Amino acid sequence: MPALPPADGPDVAPVAAPVGVLPAGAPPGAAPPEPEPAEYTSPPALPASVPERVPETVADAGGRRWAEMVVSESRRQAQEARERAAEERREERRVTLALREAILPEPGASIELPYARIAVRYVPAGRESSLGGDWYDAAPLPDGRMFLAVGDVSGHGLPAIAEMAQLRHALLGLSMTGASPGMLLSWLNALVLTRLDDTTATAVCGHFDPASRLFTWAQAGHPAPILVRRGGVRQLGAPRGVVLGATSSQPYGVADVRLEPGDLLLMFTDGLVERRSRDIEAGVSLVMRAAASTGATGADLDASLDRLLEAIGGPNPEDDTCLLAVAVTGDGPRTA
């Protein structure tokens, strides 16, 4: 092995002591050497311009997709709720119509009597939510007279139909006693006050004697009948009578009119004459003008009623319409 050169030889470079370590031969108490400062390097230069919009991160895009899903689901649920509500309304209308058809007599056919003909037009409200408690009746009495009635229970829908059924059947049963129309309405009013809470109704009813052609009638807060005679039209003067269910202290008066051959008597509910855009008085005037101009007579009673309904604007979109007509058709015997 070759010999190592001497430690102080010229070929050996001095070794610097590590930072923080005293070099060999340093006198006692000497401080360790300070580290040399590192060379400064400047940071990379920024771009000349910064984009105005920072691109969306993955988290931002996911949040937006989640919000879109929530909105879409809310819309879907709202649409389903609207469809269910519409179907429920249609089902209620079907049930209401079926129930009413089971309660009321068939309005299509005319009733033939000695010296008179009776016809009815019943038109349900145009809107699903507006089916009401309108009703009518035309029934023979044991003594040969005809009992005629038209009424209207407040409210709409199945509750109004149920209350209408009670009032109609009660009044028809009471009519078989032969009592006067005023007494019949007094009894019916007592029923409403004692058995049908928070219910009001209107009605007009009377007895028509085909032999004498005398019509005796009473009303409870209801529009009075209209009489068409020889081209003239007038509304009968109404006897006193308050709405059913209002009070028990007011009696119901009675009036009568003797009909003549060729006369046409119209009994109706307020759906025929009342609209949102006009009051009942204006509607009655319109019906009276239409009855005169359309030639409403008993010669062709069904066609006359159809022309009358068309002349006043057709069905009421917000309420049922009931029209009962009595056409006197011949001379026949008549008592004084």
Please write down the long-range contacts of 288-291, taking CB distance under 8 Å and 24 or more positions apart.
288/226, 288/233, 288/234, 288/235, 289/233, 291/226, 291/228, 291/233, 291/264, 291/266
Predicted confidence at residue 31, as pLDDT, reads: 62
CA atoms within 13 A on the CB side of 131: 21
Predicted confidence at residue 16, as pLDDT, reads: 53
pLDDT along the chain (336 residues), means of 10: 51 52 61 59 56 56 79 85 75 62 60 85 68 85 94 85 90 96 97 92 95 95 95 95 94 96 93 83 92 73 88 78 88 52
Predicted confidence at residue 246, as pLDDT, reads: 93
Predicted confidence at residue 244, as pLDDT, reads: 97
Q: What DSSP assignment string belongs to 271-297?
A: GGT-BTTB-HHHHHHHHHHHHHHTT--
Q: Produce one character per residue of 221-253: b if its CB has 16 or more CB atoms within 10 Å, e if not.
A: bbbbbbbbeeeebebbebbebbbbbeeeeebbe
Predicted confidence at residue 147, as pLDDT, reads: 96
Predicted confidence at residue 100, as pLDDT, reads: 56
The amino acid occupying position 292 is: A
Residues paired with 133 in a beta bridge: 153
